[in-house]
Structure 1
Amino acid sequence: MSMNLRLGTRASTLATTQSGMVADDIVARAAVRGVEVTVELVEISTKGDRTQGSLVGLSEVGVFVNALRDALLNDECDLIVHSLKDMPVGAHPELDLVAVTEREDVRDALCGGGLTLAELPEGARVGTSSPRRAAQVRALRPDLEVADLRGNVDSRLARVGNDFDAVILAAAGLARLGRSDEVSEFFTTTQMVPAPGQGALGVEIRADAAAEIAEVVGAVNHPHTRAAVTAERTMLEVLEAGCATPVAAHAVVVGNTLRLTTRVTNLTGTLVLNETDSGSVADAGSVGRSAGWALMGRGAARLMGRS
């Protein structure tokens, strides 16, 4: 049996690298079962790639997801790969999240020309595109100037030592691009709680796709990662929060127990809510819901700028 698949991806170096990793994994796992699969990358342009301004607000509606989903629904490709932290939390009625890949390094990383956060001079300028990272950095170092920064990984790193003293990026993305040597400091997940879904990739196919496609693509699913991100993203759904809000979550699976740490911070980093919940891996969604409602009960909406 042989199968040819078209994988829709953004054209950025990081996106094509991530998509290539998933493609290789699909091919390898199929080969073990005696199925010959080829995967062709199909580059899809997104509004986010064409927009030069800040993505805060735009990313809230999944700016990097919609064009890929349209291409999938229009039969321009057979599967698409997303960074899970960019995906809207609600399920798409015509698509199936058939796999969540094994999570890579979940941490955030400071790239500061060799200087750690503590070593940055007072008033240093730090760049990030994430309100979550900005708020948590302000909580750790209120004296720093945190400014919005966008562009691909290479362009962000190139600004260190120019108009920025440091930038903050996801450790997983840097590792996938072979740029981990640029990291001055990896934040612990206690210092800076990651974004829900950070470090994991989601793979979508059409809900009416052939069973053979669902089986071959679904083979790259990693159950423990899927449980962890389900808890994280369910909490996000309860809070009705998107990428433009400083909401963080990190779930860890040990045996049959899932432990979820969540954090909501106001934009200035002066008010912080922390919540820790745990439960069975099989009840990952319930753990996330409990965390979300606990945070709402403690005033999370006010911290996120809602009354």
Structure 2
Amino acid sequence: MASVKIGTRGSKLALSQTQQITDQLSAIGGFVAEIIPVKTDGDVLTGPLSQMGGTGVFAAALRDTLLNGGVDVAVHSLKDLPTAAVPGLMLGAIPVRADARDALCSRDGLKLAELPVGATIGTGSPRRAAQLLAARPDLVIVDIRGNVDTRLARVPGLPGNPDVEWVDGKVGDLDAVVLAASGLGRIGRLDTVTEFLESDVMLPAPGQGALALECRSADVDLTGVLGQSLNAVDDHDTRLAVTAERALLARLEAGCSAPVGALAHRKGSMLYLETVVSSLDGTRSMRLKKATDGLTTVGATILGIELAEELLAGGAGDLADLAGSAK
């Protein structure tokens, strides 16, 4: 077949994770693959991500390029992908999930419990901010943006990167930042992690740690080389887990501006889903768990919806601005 064009955001992290998956696809399918960086609104606009239109700011341009034939596959971080389906597109593959946890990167090797009273922690995520404040109400949360290296540069003493893009001259001004462990791993920066935050402290964003390989619906035909290659890298257990997490998010109608965490995993014959919804200041939260033996995408979807319904019935809409609570 002709060269396959793989679309991605142009950040260091996006290019790194796309290169890894492109190598897998081309090795399986025996085709030449070309990586096409696509500039998205999320890469251009400034200000808090939660005020920029949510997760879709990173996906819209990639999806447009996919639909108009500019690329054949779009590689997304799944947590950046809106839950609403796009006509003509589908998730051709969801590879094995990396570490879904959030990671604390702090000065002097301090863990979350060891940070001094009033310590400053940088994050652009209301979900992370709320759960940090729930664990440590004394912390001062600082809203930050920028790529991974730029964020790490805000913390003094972390292993550095000479190619950092400084933002407003802010360097070494925070006690810690919180980032996705998967992203740090994909660009070889796990050496900056002071502590991996376990789920009892911080539940990740739905889909965190997973990649989504989106393609045109016609291209997932298993009689074609691209469809066969996508099918080969798809991981069933990861797909079940993120399907449950995203179904919960969709029912809540919550985007990245809502402090919602969720994590599912398969163990034996069961799929387990845990979720938390917090007030923005972390003073109030609801945490629920549920499981199903329906190990299909339909079963996973129902699990997510049912747990979301339990949250809404318990008053989760009063904690956070959830559009789904109006239904």
Q: TM-score range by the shorter chain?
A: over 0.9
1:219 and 1:93 mapped to 2: Cα distance?
Answer: 24
Aligned to 2:124: 129
1:188 to 194, 198, 223: 198
CA RMSD in angstroms, aligned pairs only:
1.3
Aligned to 1:65: 59
- The answer to whether the Cα contact below 8 Å between 1:110 and 1:186 also exists between their aligned partners in 2 is yes
Which residue identity does 1:263 align to in structure 2? V
The aligned runs of 1:1-307 (5 Å cut-off) are: 2-30=1-29, 36-60=30-54, 62-113=56-107, 114-161=109-156, 162-209=172-219, 211=221, 212=224, 213-280=226-293, 281-282=295-296, 283-305=299-321
1:210 and 1:69 mapped to 2: Cα distance?
Answer: 16
Which residue identity does 1:303 align to in structure 2? L
TM (norm. structure 1) is 0.95
The answer for unaligned runs of 5 or more in structure 2 is: 157-171
Which residue identity does 2:132 align to in structure 1? V
1:89 and 1:160 mapped to 2: Cα distance?
Answer: 33
Q: CA deviation at 1:214?
A: 2.1
- The answer to whether the Cα contact below 8 Å between 1:112 and 1:184 also exists between their aligned partners in 2 is yes
- The answer to whether the Cα contact below 8 Å between 1:96 and 1:204 also exists between their aligned partners in 2 is yes
- The answer to whether the Cα contact below 8 Å between 2:55 and 2:80 also exists between their aligned partners in 1 is no
- Deviation digits for residues 241-269 of structure 1 (CA, Å, limit 9, x no counterpart): 00000001000101221000010001000
- Deviation digits for residues 142-192 of structure 1 (CA, Å, limit 9, x no counterpart): 001001111000000001132211000000000001000100111011110
Q: State the SS of the aligned residue for 2:218.
A: coil
2:282 and 2:267 mapped to 1: Cα distance?
Answer: 31
Aligned to 1:33: none
Question: Of Structure 1 and Structure 2, which has the larger fraction of its residues in strand?
Answer: 1
Identity within the alignment, %: 47
- The answer to whether the Cα contact below 8 Å between 2:55 and 2:79 also exists between their aligned partners in 1 is no
Q: State the SS of the aligned residue for 2:54.
A: helix
